[in-house]
Amino acid sequence: MRIVVHGQQAFGKAVLEALLGRGDDVVAVYVAPDRPGGKPDPLKEAGLAAGLPVFQPASYVDTAVHDDFRALAPDLQVMAFVTLVVPKPFLDIPSHGTIQYHPSLLPRHRGRSAINWPIIMGETQTGLSIFWPDDGLDTGDVLLQRTTPIGPDDTLGSVYFDRLFPMGVEALCEAVGLVKSGAAPHRKQDETMATYEGPCERANARVDWGKPWRQIHDLVRGCDPAPAAWTTFGDQALQVFGSQPLPARDLAGLGGVPGEVVEVEGGPEGGVTVACADGQIRVARVRPAGGGKLAAGEWAAGAGLTAGARLT
C-alpha cells in the first residue's frame, strides 16, 4: 500500500520513521511551507534523509497541487499534525482515503487547542482519535480512540509529550494496519456530545486571582508550556509555571486579598505564594517579559517583590 505522510515537526517525523521502520511503503512526504529564517522542519529533514520526494504547497486548492498528489498514485494519506486547511477533494485522492490524528476524544474538544482545554476545564481524562477527515472541523468518522488520565498536577507538556505523542504514533501505525487489512471502522461522531473551543491564546491565559484556586491551578497547568499563564507586577507581564494549590480550610484561613503576595521564599528553589478567592497558590517558576524562566523567589529578589505586593 502506497502511503503519503502529511504533517510537520517532531510528531510528523516520528510517524514517518515508525512507518518506515516497520517496512511500510511510504512514497512521499507533505510538509508545511518553510518559515522565513526558521529552522528546517524535522519531518522535511527526515523525508529528505530517507530519499523521499517532499512537497510543501502553501495551499491545497490549486488543481496543480492535486495533480502532483494524484501522480503519486497514493493508496492512503496519513495526516500527522496538519494545520493548513485541506479540502475534501484532496483528501479523497488516495484509493483508501485519508486518516488523521487528533489529540482529544472526539467529538469532545474539536479545534487546534484540544490538549489545553480539557486540562483548563479540570477534566480527569483525555485521549486521542484517529479519524477520517472531511470538510468539517474534526467532524469525520472515527477509526480508533485511546484514552489517558489527566492527573491533578499534569500539564499540557506532560500529557502531550509523555503520553499523547507516543500513543499517537502507535495509534496511527495501528490504524494503517487496519486500513491495509480492510478492517478499519467508520464510526459516526455523536453530534449531541460535540464541543468546540477556539485556540488557547495569550488572552485566554491571563490569571484572575479572584477566582478559586482550582480554576487558577488548572489554567496554569493547561497553559504550560504554551501559551503560558500570566499575570502582571506593576506594568510588567509575568508568566507563571509550577502552581501548587494551598486551599483554605475555613474563611479565617484565607490569608490575604486576591492577588496579594503573602510569602516570598528566596533562593534558587524559592517560590512566591499568592492569595486567591478560596486559598493561596504557590508559584514555583516565572518568566518575566524578555527574560528566561527562573525560580519565582529568585526573580522576586531581583524585582523587589515582597510580601504585601499585588499581582494583577
Please indicate, yes or no, whether residues 184 and 238 belong to a single structural domain of this protein.
no
What are the tens digits of pLDDT across the range 166-207? 999 999 999 999 999 999 999 999 999 999 999 999 999 999
The whole-angstrom separation of Cα 131 and Cα 107 is 11
Please indicate, yes or no, whether residues 287 and 239 belong to a single structural domain of this protein.
yes
Cell digits of residue 44? 522535511
Which of 163, 193, 223 is where one domain is finished?
193
Is there a domain that residue 309 lies in?
A: no
pTM of the complete model: 0.94
Is there a domain that residue 183 lies in?
A: yes
What are the tens digits of pLDDT across the range 10-65? 999 999 999 999 999 999 999 999 988 889 999 999 999 999 999 999 999 999 99
Please indicate, yes or no, whether residues 150 and 285 belong to a single structural domain of this protein.
no
Q: Determine the longest span between alpha carbons in the chain, in angstroms.
A: 73
Please indicate, yes or no, whether residues 107 and 141 belong to a single structural domain of this protein.
yes
Place of cell 503520553: 163
pLDDT tops 80 at residue 252: no
Pairing of strands 76-80, 2-7: parallel
Please indicate, yes or no, whether residues 253 and 293 belong to a single structural domain of this protein.
yes
Confidence of residue 269 (pLDDT cuts 50, 70, 90): confident
Number of structural domains the chain divides into: 2
Average pLDDT over every residue of 93-108 = 98
Please indicate, yes or no, whether residues 188 and 207 belong to a single structural domain of this protein.
no
Is there a domain that residue 66 lies in?
A: yes
pLDDT given for residue 75 in this prediction: 98
Confidence of residue 249 (pLDDT cuts 50, 70, 90): low
Q: How far is CA 131 from the centre of its chain?
A: 18
CATH at 55: 3.40.50.170
* 97 DSSP β-pair partners: none
Please indicate, yes or no, whether residues 109 and 71 belong to a single structural domain of this protein.
yes
Please indicate, yes or no, whether residues 169 and 241 belong to a single structural domain of this protein.
no
Average pLDDT over every residue of 63-69 = 97
Which of 193, 226, 258 is where one domain is finished?
193
Please indicate, yes or no, whether residues 220 and 143 belong to a single structural domain of this protein.
no
CATH at 275: 3.10.25.10
Residue type present at position 271: G
Domain that holds residue 42: 2-193
Average pLDDT over every residue of 208-230 = 98
Please indicate, yes or no, whether residues 110 and 136 belong to a single structural domain of this protein.
yes
Query: Which residues, other chains included, contact 140 with Cβ-Cβ below 8 Å and sequence gap of 6+?
Result: 100, 131, 132, 133, 134, 189
Residue 55's Cβ-count burial label (10 Å; 0-12, 13-18, 19+) is: middle
Please indicate, yes or no, whether residues 231 and 284 belong to a single structural domain of this protein.
yes
Please indicate, yes or no, whether residues 290 and 209 belong to a single structural domain of this protein.
yes
Neighbours of 269 (CB within 10 A): 12
Is there a domain that residue 311 lies in?
A: no
Average pLDDT over every residue of 227-247 = 96
Neighbours of 218 (CB within 10 A): 23
